[in-house]
Amino acid sequence: MSSEAIHASIVKQISKRLGFMACGISKADFLADEAPRLEQWLNQNHHGQMGYMERNFDKRLDPRKLVPGAKSVVSLLFNYFPENTPSDSDAPKIARYAYGQDYHRVIKDKLFEFMHEIQTEIGAVGGRVFVDSAPVMEKAWAAKSGLGWVGKNTNLIRKQEGSYFFIAELILDISLEADGAVTDHCGSCTACLDACPTDAFTAPYKLDASKCISYFTIELKEAIPQEVKGKFDQWAFGCDICQEVCPWNRFSTPHKEPAFNPNPELMGMAQNDWDEITEEVFNRLFEVSAVQRTGFSGLKRNLEFLK
């Protein structure tokens, strides 16, 4: 075995020990196929008010500009599918990824441990860790690394696990044996496109994020447009509709990460509990949750919009 293959095997063994669902590796090169797609998406203003998507265009497409000397991109998946959903199915809903603690801090801690173990087992390896917090095209790298395919709903999908997982990366200055991409298995299915209540998909594999419920309830800082009133299906923070209807998610299994377990109080909240939520209750329920991104005032705006 070559040193690239041996080191890749070590990296994948570490990923299993740390509880990651899957690990794939790519050479750190320019994402030539993504460049025109990203440029067109931005030119069509499909990113809405997410101005950060326009910044660092070159770094998004070439990890060597983000991490000097980069040779490999290690893509990692971490399951967040919950065992249960809230008891009141008619109450306002939050996306499953936000049930527990903020994934940024939980997974980043694991990534730092990952880097330490790589350095312990392989030697002086340099690089950076990323989890949805830098100009890294996570889904593109994960697909390139064979971890799944980017589906018609623009989520990464795996045949045996579905799509309820976080994506993270290690960009390293060591050459590792690369994996190959897998084929697309969406077939003729259009369940996700048909189910979107705000018509956020302009075509299969193309999302106008500025029309997505997740955008309206998290990213948009001003008033939600009245033309989408009554179309949110009770989603108050984020949205899982295009994942809920995806046939591949019938294979989703509950995660084993205690930090992602929901607060029992959250699981038991009824419609009137959401109507009467105070800032004190908000802070207690979501102190270390991704829901903090919208803040108490933002959540109240979203809840009012649902009425």
pLDDT digits (tens, 9 = 90+) for 131-176: 987 889 999 999 999 999 999 999 999 999 999 999 999 999 999 9
Question: What is the reported pLDDT for 296?
Answer: 97
Q: What is the pLDDT of residues 34-61, one digit of tens each?
A: 989 988 988 998 988 888 888 888 889 9
Strand partners, 93: 235
Q: What is the pLDDT of residues 217-249, one digit of tens each?
A: 999 999 999 999 999 999 999 999 999 999 999
Query: pLDDT averaged over the chain?
Result: 96
Phi, psi of 134 (to 5 degrees): -155, 170
- DSSP-H helix ranges across the chain: 3-17, 34-43, 57-61, 63-66, 103-121, 138-144, 191-195, 213-214, 241-244, 264-267, 271-275, 279-286, 295-306
Compute the half-sphere exposure of residue 136: CA atoms within 13 Å on the CB side of its CA. 24
Q: Domain locations in the chain?
A: 3-82+99-172, 191-254+261-306
Percent with pLDDT over 90 in the chain: 91
- Identify the residue with better confidence: 300 or 1: 300
Catalytic site positions: 132
Residues 81-133: pLDDT tens digits? 999 999 998 999 999 999 999 999 999 999 999 999 999 999 999 999 999 87
The two beta strands, 93-94 and 235-237, are parallel
What CATH number matches the domain at 3-82+99-172, 3.30.70, 3.40.50, 3.10.350, 3.40.109? Answer: 3.40.109
Q: What is the pTM of this model?
A: 0.95
